[in-house]
């Protein structure tokens, strides 16, 4: 495992560069290489650990984890459904498989099994901090409706006890990792 410091990272584009501690050449890092739960982006100056993989004739970082966070940037763990809370009548519980904040859609995996169900941001009950976003791994309750094409889709997506979803604070724009 290698270590280094985030030289710069463009949150909107989802990539940046790491300056290795061993003094070697800066290495490319894409958001998809961040594997730490609750971390979707890097901040300039953060210390990271990573592996290196070859991408054609270039090297890039993979399996990136943050070892020292900058102020105000610590991982947020996805909220899990409390064992003593039942979903609202007509709803079921599921886990957000992924959600693209930029495009405003993703998929929820029902906890009782079955196929992943499409979710659009318009079905999400958010807050002023999170907007209509969902956090990957977050447990939510939802109803299933059928779209005009006959495909199932989520409706009335909310957190435990009818609360707003956890979402992604401060990230109404940006992308999925």
Location of each CATH 2.40.50.140 domain in the chain: 2-68, 76-177
Distance CA 152, CA 78 (A): 25
CATH architecture of 2-68: Beta Barrel (2.40)
Secondary structure of residue 91 in the 3-state scheme: coil
pLDDT of 154 > 50? The answer is yes
What pLDDT does residue 42 have? Answer: 87
Q: How many CB atoms lie within 10 A of CB 137?
A: 16
Distance CA 68, CA 44 (A): 11
The CATH number of the domain covering residues in 76-177: 2.40.50.140
Does the reported pTM lie above 0.85?
no
What pLDDT does residue 4 have? Answer: 94
| pLDDT, mean of residues 5-32 | 93
Supply the mean pLDDT for the chain.
86
pLDDT digits (tens, 9 = 90+) for 45-98: 888 999 999 988 889 999 998 888 666 666 667 888 998 998 988 999 999 999
What pLDDT does residue 130 have? Answer: 74
pLDDT of 172 > 90? The answer is no
Cβ proximity of 174 and 102 under 8 Å: yes
Cβ proximity of 116 and 99 under 8 Å: no
């Amino acid at each position: 495992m290698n270590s280094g410091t985030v030289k710069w990272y463009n949150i909107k584009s989802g990539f940046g560069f790491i300056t290795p501690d061993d003094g070697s050449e800066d290495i490319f890092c894409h958001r998809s290489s961040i594997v730490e739960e609750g971390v979707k982006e890097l901040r300039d100056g953060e210390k990271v650990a990573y592996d290196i993989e070859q991408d054609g004739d270039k090297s890039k970082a993979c399996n990136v984890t943050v070892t020292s966070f900058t102020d105000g940037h610590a991982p947020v763990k996805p909220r899990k459904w409390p064992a003593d809370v039942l979903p609202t009548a007509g709803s079921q519980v599921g886990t957000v498989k992924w959600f693209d904040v930029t495009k405003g859609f993703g998929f929820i995996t029902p906890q009782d099994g079955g196929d992943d169900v499409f979710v659009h941001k318009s079905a999400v009950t958010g807050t002023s901090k999170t907007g209509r976003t969902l956090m990957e791994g977050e447990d939510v309750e939802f109803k299933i409706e059928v779209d005009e094409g006959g495909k199932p889709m989520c409706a009335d997506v909310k957190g435990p006890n009818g609360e707003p979803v956890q979402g992604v604070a401060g990230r109404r724009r940006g992308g999925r990792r």
